[in-house]
A and B are shown apart, each in its own frame.
Chain A
Amino acid sequence: KNQVEQSPQSLIILEGKNCTLQCNYTVSPFSNLRWYKQDTGRGPVSLTIMTFSENTKSNGRYTATLDADTKQSSLHITASQLSDSASYICVVSVPLNFGNEKLTFGTGTRLTIIP
């Protein structure tokens, strides 16, 4: 069982609408949680990184929330644009020695924005 579960697997919304993507994790111990955006055929691009002490973090129209007690995170996209069509990947980090960390990746939510 994947230690980082994302839902829904795919989502289609109209341009201009808002949406929320979910991420539940069981990875422990926890260092930080990241959201990445991956366009088709491209590498992932970092949107946000949150440590356990942060509840919310914004990057333009993207707002991520984190509840470290329930081990849940969400990514909210406001006023969606056609360019938001992509896969959104939730990543949880486990601390290792010497300041390093190991990343566990979710399988992603495929978001499609239609005009």
Chain B
Amino acid sequence: DGGITQSPKYLFRKEGQNVTLSCEQNLNHDAMYWYRQDPGQGLRLIYYSQIVNDFQKGDIAEGYSVSREKKESFPLTVTSAQKNPTAFYLCASSIQNRRNQPQHFGDGTRLSIL
């Protein structure tokens, strides 16, 4: 079955530590996205990538970094500069350059602070 796999499902970060969230897709989609979901708020875009080796900042990129070395993979690093990292992180992918197409989501990683 094609889909998006996020790992780990739960992650804990210590003070001053960087952590990396994994996102892998086998849908052959060019575009991939990272969102953050907080209680009582809509999903907010952190970073997105339209093609390998290229990515753009979203609305809340500060304290985060990404890479896109392979079409299938779009890992997100939450750096120590992100002062409020506790949230539910969702990765998504879609067909590139095509409006009115759904974004397919993974099942998320819940990040908490120790």
Binding site for B on A (CB under 8 A): 2, 4, 31-32, 34, 41-46, 49, 51, 89, 93, 95, 98-108
The 26 listed contacts between A and B (C-beta, < 8 Å) are: A4-B42, A31-B100, A32-B99, A32-B100, A41-B107, A41-B110, A42-B108, A43-B6, A43-B90, A43-B105, A43-B108, A44-B105, A46-B104, A51-B100, A89-B42, A95-B99, A99-B97, A100-B96, A100-B97, A101-B99, A103-B45, A103-B103, A105-B43, A105-B44, A106-B42, A108-B42
In the assembled complex, B16 has its CB within 8 A of some CB on chain A: no
Shortest C-beta distance, B111 to chain A (Å), equals: 14
Bound: A99/B97 CA distance, A: 4
User: Nearest Cβ distance between residue B106 and chain A, in whole angstroms?
Assistant: 5
- Roughly how many angstroms separate A13 CA and B77 CA in the complex, as a whole number? 41
A34, A93, A95, A101 pick with most chain B CB within 10 angstroms: A101
Q: Are A34 and B99 in contact (CB under 8 A)?
A: no
> Hey, which chain A residues are within 8 Å of B90, CB to CB?
43-44
In contact, B108 and A99 (Cβ under 8 angstroms):
no
